[in-house]
């Protein structure tokens, strides 16, 4: 019988977290051979006290742990260390699970070839929706739709052997053995004053799952509802998210370039052609940046252009930080981020 651990990291959103907890406890975890762990990643002692008190009131139905190292990845890894389940189910603190969610995940993992499972995340709005919002929706290669900006998706059917990159962190199940074998998550959602230490989160892990040839399934029954409040349905939030995307993309690009550089050096060094490629890539970036500046000057009111510009600013910020901070590149190139604390690196 499958045994699992549901892990919810949280840092301050107690009102929505309570709804998430209530939706999970309705599933009768003991009957389903599952446990629930709340990982408190708050830096505010008052928020931690409120959360801990709520968890005490539910004693016996969940476990509370506090992780002082800031950032989503530190909290996720702490949850993994504390877990008893062979299957780890990571949820964001602002989702509510559907009635068949856990049962679908458990049935999916009965197939030994499956190492990851995800499912639909449907929006739950609490107010009006701006007209520009719908322009950020796109289709997926499997059908249906998605909005990566708010981690929303609905393919509409089961996809056995889905690209693991279509399994997102708000509804992310993985075999514990695979999580550790592949080195866990990359840095994610760190506080603003640690922005340069940001990485590509679960994407780094899903890329490793894909590259290793392991199988991931998207199951429509593993459905969650994602809270989309007014604090997110505005352009300032989208620009902030775009900046974060830029930082994450810069991090992933540096890791990728380093791996390719190792491969070239170990096979057949071609310093002249390497320099030529670098020069060509730098010229291309300069040209793109020049064009973006001109387009932004004319179309600065366009949500698409505004977010693209913010994404570029995030990329440039991270690239500059790597040049200025000698500690940052070794951090980016780490094999894994288990038992790390970015407070020690600042």
Predicted confidence at residue 97, as pLDDT, reads 98
Per-residue pLDDT of the chain (346 residues; tens, 9 = 90+): 779 999 999 997 788 999 999 999 999 898 889 999 999 998 888 889 999 998 899 988 999 999 999 999 999 999 999 999 999 999 999 999 999 999 999 999 999 999 999 999 999 998 899 999 999 999 999 999 999 999 999 999 999 999 999 999 999 999 999 999 999 999 998 888 899 999 999 999 999 999 999 999 999 999 999 999 999 999 999 999 999 999 999 999 999 887 654 433 434 444 444 445 555 555 555 565 555 555 544 445 688 888 999 999 999 999 999 999 999 999 999 999 998 998 887 6
The whole-angstrom separation of Cα 236 and Cα 152 is: 19
Distance of alpha carbon 166 from alpha carbon 218, whole angstroms: 8
Quick: pLDDT tens for 268-324. 444 444 445 555 555 555 565 555 555 544 445 688 888 999 999 999 999 999 999
Q: What is the pLDDT of residue 344?
A: 85
pLDDT of residue 192: 86
Domains of the chain by residue range: 4-232, 236-344
Asked if 238 contacts 138 with a C-beta cutoff of 8 angstroms, the reply is: no
pLDDT single digits (tens) 80-125: 999 999 999 999 999 999 999 999 999 999 999 999 999 999 999 9
CA 106 to chain centre: 22
Q: Helices 303-324 & 235-267, crossing angle to 10 degrees?
A: 50
Q: What is the DSSP letter of 187?
A: P
Q: Please name the CATH architecture into which domain 4-232 falls.
A: Alpha-Beta Complex (3.90)
Kindly report the number of other CB atoms within 10 A of residue 153's CB atom.
Answer: 27
User: In the structure encoding, which two tokens stand for residue 24, read together?
Assistant: 């999970």
């Amino acid at each position: 019988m499958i045994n699992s651990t549901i892990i919810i990291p949280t840092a301050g959103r107690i009102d929505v977290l309570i709804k998430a907890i209530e939706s999970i406890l309705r599933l009768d975890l003991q009957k389903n051979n599952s446990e629930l762990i709340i990982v408190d990643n708050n830096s505010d002692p008052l928020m931690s006290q409120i959360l801990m008190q709520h968890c005490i009131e539910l004693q016996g139905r969940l476990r509370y742990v506090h992780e002082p190292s800031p950032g989503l990845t530190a909290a996720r890894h702490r949850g993994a260390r504390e877990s008893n389940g062979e299957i780890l189910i990571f949820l964001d603190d602002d989702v509510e699970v559907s009635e068949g969610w856990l049962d679908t995940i458990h049935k999916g993992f009965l197939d030994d070839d499956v190492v990851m499972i995800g499912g639909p995340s449907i929006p739950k709005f609490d107010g009006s929706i701006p007209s520009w919002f719908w322009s950020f929706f796109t289709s997926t290669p499997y059908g249906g739709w998605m909005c990566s900006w708010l981690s929303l998706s609905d393919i509409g059917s089961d996809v056995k052997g889905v690209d693991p990159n279509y399994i997102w962190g708000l509804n992310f199940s993985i075999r514990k053995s695979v999580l550790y074998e592949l080195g866990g998550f990359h840095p994610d959602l760190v506080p603003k004053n640690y922005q340069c230490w940001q990485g590509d989160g679960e994407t780094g892990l899903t890329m490793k799952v894909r590259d290793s040839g392991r199988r991931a399934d998207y199951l429509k029954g593993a459905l969650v509802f994602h809270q989309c409040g007014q604090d997110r349905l505005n352009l300032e939030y989208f620009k902030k998210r775009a900046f974060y995307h830029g930082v994450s993309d810069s991090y992933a690009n540096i890791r990728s370039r380093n791996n390719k550089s190792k491969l070239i050096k170990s096979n057949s060094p071609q310093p002249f052609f390497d320099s030529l490629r670098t020069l060509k890539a730098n010229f291309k970036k300069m040209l793109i940046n020049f064009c973006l500046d001109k387009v932004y000057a004319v179309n600065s009111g366009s949500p698409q252009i505004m977010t693209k510009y913010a994404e570029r600013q995030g990329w440039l910020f991270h690239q500059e930080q790597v040049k200025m901070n000698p500690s940052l590149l070794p951090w980016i190139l780490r094999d894994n981020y288990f038992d790390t604390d970015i407070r020690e690196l600042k």
